[in-house]
Chain A
Amino acid sequence: AQTVTQSQPEMSVQEAETVTLSCTYDTSESDYYLFWYKQPPSRQMILVIRQEAYKQQNATENRFSVNFQKAAKSFSLKISDSQLGDAAMYFCAYRSEGGADGLTFGKGTHLIIQP
């Protein structure tokens, strides 16, 4: 079974600064997908960014980018130019390439943005 670990229960960053959220995972599979989801206090989970394991290039979506290290089984999220609206719980998630198992989530990191 796959596991996802987020070792930072809470992170704080000044508005406009850059912050990196850590995620490691354990799997014996070679093909899979990794995701970062954002869950604001309203509870609606929103996809931030995805990475296919077979792609060497790190995914980027505007101010959000990942550092995917397949050998190290590490998948960190970098948020540049942090904004107040970025404040939320962030969850790292794993999905098998075959895909029928649903997502495996980490415990989340609570991101606080200091104005």
Chain B
Amino acid sequence: EVQLLESGGALVQPGGSLTLSCAASGFTFTSSAMTWVRQAPGRGLEWVSTITDGGTTKYAESVKARFTISRDNSKSTLFLQLNTLRAEDTAVYFCAKVFHAWYFDLWGRGTLVTVSS
């Protein structure tokens, strides 16, 4: 089955860190660029970061230098390391497969990150 499954969301204090994972199956992960998109409660979609099949990375300005996207092709898994978390990082984080540079044609169900003391 073609799917993405995120995990790792949690309640974390401001300034804390977290790592999100996204397990991919049913498609050729190694040749797919992947992305993280987030959605704050009751708000719209916000692109966070993208990693190409070759490992080139892009970040939204709001997370640059705090978040790190990476991938383990041997495990078909995408990661997002979140550091120095702020209240405004509270959101559901979706991973998505990049399609036709740079749209998103396969999405996971998301994982909730809550930053609060």
- Do the two shown chains form a genuine complex with each other? no
Residues of chain A having any CB pair with chain B under 8 Å: none
Residues of chain B having any CB pair with chain A under 8 Å: none
